[in-house]
Amino acid sequence: MTKSAINPSTVFNSLQYGFSQGLVVTGQRRVMLSGQVGVNAQEQTVSGGMREQTEAALDNIELVLAEAGGRIDQVIMLRIFIREDASSPQEQDEIAAALLKRFPVNPPPSSWILINGLARREWLIEIEAEAMLD
């Protein structure tokens, strides 16, 4: 798989938030992941707030990809669903920090979508991912 980020100077600088404006990808084996939330293998919501739930959701993405023989740097698209009442500028900064940590080079494009709620009241964020493995 090869990928090349597209971040023209004619649009806002999304790299500071941990995502690219676009990504040119070549490969053959594409994996689409269900939305991952801040829960552990015992189905317990992690303690803490947005930072902890975002990190746990990204951990789960890594674990699912590993099972398929992939890595998180092979993610080519994220869709991030954020509970509307948990979308303060500080919480959005925590999401961006988690993305910058996991995707320091050629970060995948992403959509950040504010929603009314998730399947469980304590969940603040859900992250869907697509990856190209080879």
Torsion angle of the four alpha carbons 71, 74, 79, 82, in this order, in degrees rounded to the nearest 10: 40
Is pLDDT above 90 for 59?
A: yes
Task: For residue range 106-120, list pLDDT tens digits in order.
Answer: 999 999 999 999 999
pTM of the model: 0.92
Residues 6+ apart with CB under 8 A from 5: 20, 21, 22, 23, 106, 107
